[in-house]
Chains A and B, each alone.
Chain A
Amino acid sequence: MMRLIGFRKQLIILGLTAILVGLVACKATSTPTTTTTSSPTSAPTQTSTSPTKTSAQSVTINLTAQGFSFDQNTITVPAGTTVTIHFTNKDNAPHNFAIYETAAVQKPIFVGQIITGPSATIDYKFTAPITPGTYFFRCDVHPSMNGSFIVQ
């Protein structure tokens, strides 16, 4: 039996942001599609969060927790995309999905609601960071379940 580590969050960031309202979500693969931004290293622009953006910037990922493990170690999404994590919990235990800047778990990017299986599902919706890089995802209840959240 493991006890949770007492990390201190220095920022409070709400999981859902106002820009989700009005965006059209459509299913896409996790590999980046052609976008209107020039390259992954370009500086973040205001237009990536504009509700008037014409091409849909959204992606849906299926993620399952079973046997106290996620079925993926790495999740990759385009920068600034609307991300839907369709999360299935097959364990008779509480799990969630949460993203932080780093494994130090100081700065949350998205913290999903905890759900208890063995047959529970939830859709988490949030916006991927605008800055490309490798972030850190984990189950807050069982932090040894974790992986890399790569933004390209």
Chain B
Amino acid sequence: MRRLRFGFVRLLAVLILTATLVGAASCTASTVNSSGVPPEVKQYMKDWPLPNRDYANTRATLDSSINSGNVNTLGVAWSVPIPGVGLFGSASTTPIIMGNTVFFQDLGNNIFALDLTTGATKWQKLYNESNVGPNGVAIGWGKVFATADPYNIAALDMNSGKQLWLSPVSNNPTAGTDIQPQVYGNLVYTSTVPGSSGSDFYSGGGIGTIYALDQATGKIAWSWDTVDSKDIWGNKDVNSGGGCWYTPSIDTATGIMYWGIANPAPWPGTKDFPNGSSRPGPNLYTNSMVAINQKDGKLQWYTQVYPHDLFDYDFQIAPILASATVGGKIQDIVISAGKMGRVYAFNRKSGAILWSAVVGDHQNDQLANIPSEGTTVVSPGSLGGVETPMAFAGGIVYVPVVNTSAEYTPSTSKLGNFAKGTGDLVAIQVDTGKILWQKHFNSINVGGATVVNDLVFTATFDGMVYAFKRNTGEQVWTYQSPGGVNAWPSFSGDTMLLPIGVGGFPSLLALRLGATAPVLAMTPGNGASVTSGAVKVSVQALNFKLIDKLGQTTVNGEGHIHFFMDADAPTTPDKPAVTAAGTYAATANATYTWANVTPGTHTFSAELVNNNHTPLVPPVIVKATITVKEPAPAISITTPANRSTMAAGNVAVSVKVSNFNLVNKLGTTNVAGEGHVHYFLDVVAPTEQGKPAVTAAGTYAATADTTYTWTNVKPGTHTLSVELVNNNHTPLVPPVVTRVVIVVSTSAAGGP
């Protein structure tokens, strides 16, 4: 890792240090910060202060106490349930560790600050906005930065979680942001991709743009389009592409940052434009490594590794900075990889490719055109190749690989079930590009690679976690986690943090050297909102066996659960942990459903007890204060269907509304539970609390009707959004909004 140099001539008049930095204020007491590194990142360099540990994206630590000699003693120390849900589960991120605080974001964009020792929540900010992922937080200058929703980046106070600013990065409804950001030089870096949710990806007109935001205000300092032509390679209505999915690396000596750019669309093509013929040419800058100046966004160089891509082969992996001796010459390099299943090393100054390595299964992946007869099987499939971040240490880059295949015709694709694919971990020597060793798994490897001392860790989708000796590939430790893994660990001291994002009980697990005590986690968690009536509570018990021996003699390490509602869990040793009838339930099941729970605030608890109902010593209890509400307002678009095609002219939108009274009281005082609908065309529906949800004239309509007709809709791709609003036109809290994308064509709809 490069030493920091004070190479910046930029002087700040006043360094604004927040008075409430986490931990001791041991940062340099200078009034001028001539380095771009935030003080917290410097202070916690030995923990995990950045998404991939350091600015080189190495995902390697030599500061932890975990090694091949003690890794077998790793046990679960705590488990914190993850409430948010996105397209691929609940978590696709790396937790940040600074001192005794963990910062983490789930795939509902919810952000948490947790105590590293106990897992206790210090604060949480619940956005409940589904995210395709991968996403996550970056910390700097007293703030936590992350996506709040597809169109906005938020900055929160790192000590309280209070939102300090919310900054829009997209006014195109079909371009949204995921990505775990980067922080440097008083700027926060993020990127959009050509989609905002699972239902609108690759709509015509969506492109990815890199943004640098001022960390103090959120204002956009510069932006850089990852698509090189304003008309998107000749057809703005059909084409889309580019964008970045993973955190860039920064060479702090030169101020140059490195981004991997994603794929073009449509892929493989459409009926009217087979084999990508709507976008002839290489489609820059898709599937490229780009080097950009962090200060002003000026392009230094780009190298495209896969032009005119038909197979969704992003070159998206977080680029790693290293040095290597290639051809007898030591040089600074940058390494990346992508879903095409190849790893590339570039000279960091010129962008010249030094070597490339093929990883995983390959078949027909270099085709310039897909044959029109029959179907062609291609590996990697569109969810395949290198999907998650690599690690680098000691001259070796460790590459996690997904093996799937897909069937293609010139205009269609069908991916094989990725849950049934296989995986690899490949160790490549960076001086030569040679594969030194590799491991094969019977589940896809979306668990990244992470180096800790003499070990490299990875994990597969089925939840198996592996540690290998990084020099030889000798397997040293495995652990079957209680769910599936498509997120990446961070390490500090004796602790490994691993998000378990898939399965019936998604949670952030802390594994710690020598941990053996029973662990209990519960959902819903503190601060959750549930609907009145039947409330189901679920627990996860680890280092403890749940068994139906209720009332029998105590046996160490086993027992059952006592669930409590609005009653404190008893803790007196040797006394059965029971409360008044109706306020507790005893069961060996991991779930219990409370019936007829009335609206209001309730406390739900769960306790591990011995067979004879007595508490453990010390007691193991989880408690959550939960708001029970009437069913929430909801809106859905019944017609038109998402991605349907229709003739130019009038487009009628119909909605279904529930748990909300539509009343013709537009512009009058708000009354809870009633309001009307705002319909939007081709704009992002405003959701800012307290501000009327109105956009430019002609782009929105306000009515209490469940249908609205847009007139004279021109050919092209259009986004139709609908939102429930109060009588005074302001959004509901939380906002209730949904959208569909349609294509208006010049020819009549229907037909074969």
Chain A residues at the B interface, C-beta cutoff of 8 Å: 1-12, 14, 67-69, 90-94, 103-106, 108, 111, 116, 118-119, 141-146
Contact = CB atoms under 8 A, between A and B. Distances in A.
A73 to B, nearest CB: 9
B202 interface: yes
Contact of A8 (B92, B387, B420, B645): B645
Contacts of B502: 67-68, 91-93
29 contacts: A1-B134, A5-B202, A5-B382, A6-B201, A6-B266, A8-B270, A8-B271, A9-B643, A10-B645, A10-B749, A12-B644, A12-B749, A14-B639, A67-B419, A68-B418, A91-B502, A92-B89, A92-B504, A93-B87, A93-B88, A93-B502, A105-B412, A108-B641, A118-B503, A119-B504, A144-B383, A144-B416, A144-B418, A144-B419
Interface in B282-309: none
A2 B418 contact: yes
B312 interface: yes
A119 B534 CA distance: 14
Contact of A1 (B132, B203, B640, B750): B132
A145 B643 contact: no
Q: Which residue, A5, A103, A108, has most C-beta atoms of chain B within 10 A?
A: A5
Contacts, number: 130
Contacts of A111: 641
Given A8-B743, A92-B89, A94-B130, 18 more contacts: A2-B382, A3-B132, A4-B198, A4-B202, A5-B202, A5-B412, A6-B270, A10-B645, A68-B502, A90-B504, A91-B503, A92-B85, A92-B90, A143-B414, A144-B383, A144-B415, A144-B416, A144-B419
A132 B506 CA distance: 42
A101 to B, nearest CB: 10
Contacts of A9: 641, 643-645
Nearest to B412: A104
B413 A11 contact: no
B217 interface: no
Contacts of B242: none
A13 B558 CA distance: 55
Contacts of B545: none
A5 B270 CA distance: 10
A118 B203 CA distance: 29
B391 to A, nearest CB: 19
Contacts of B536: 119
Nearest to A13: B641
Interface of B: 85-90, 92, 130, 132-134, 195, 198-199, 201-203, 240, 245, 265-267, 270-271, 312, 381-383, 387, 404, 407, 409, 411-420, 462, 484, 501-506, 536, 639-641, 643-646, 743, 749-752
B412 A2 contact: no
Nearest to A118: B504
Nearest to A136: B414
Nearest to A9: B644
Contacts of A106: 271
B267 A5 contact: yes
Given A1-B134, A4-B202, A68-B419, A12 B88 contact: no
Contacts of A108: 641
Nearest to A14: B639
Contact of B383 (A1, A94, A141): A1
A143 B643 CA distance: 15
B448 to A, nearest CB: 13
Contacts of B419: 67-69, 144-145
Q: What are the nearest 8 A-B pairs in CB distance?
A: A144-B415, A2-B383, A68-B419, A6-B202, A3-B201, A118-B504, A104-B412, A69-B419
Given A91-B502, A93-B86, A3 B644 contact: no
B506 A92 contact: yes
Nearest to B416: A144
A106 to B, nearest CB: 8
Contacts of A6: 201-203, 240, 265-266, 270, 643
A79 B640 CA distance: 28
Given A1-B134, A6-B270, A119-B536, A141 B90 contact: no
Contacts of A116: 85
B262 to A, nearest CB: 9
A3 B88 contact: no
A12 B504 contact: no
A7 B415 contact: no
B77 to A, nearest CB: 23
Given A1-B92, A92-B502, A145-B417, A12 B202 contact: no
A3 B199 CA distance: 9
A3 B195 contact: yes
Contacts of A118: 503-505
Contacts of B749: 10-12
Nearest to A90: B504
Nearest to B203: A6
A1 B417 contact: no
Nearest to B92: A1
A4 B199 contact: yes
A9 B198 CA distance: 17
Contacts of B413: 5
A104 B274 CA distance: 13
A143 B270 CA distance: 17
A12 B652 CA distance: 13
A143 B381 CA distance: 12
Contacts of B89: 91-93
Contacts of A12: 639-641, 644, 646, 749
Q: Identify the interface centre among B134, B267, B417: most chain A CB within 10 Å of its CB.
A: B417
Nearest to A10: B645
Contacts of B92: 1
A23 to B, nearest CB: 22
Contacts of A4: 195, 198-199, 201-202
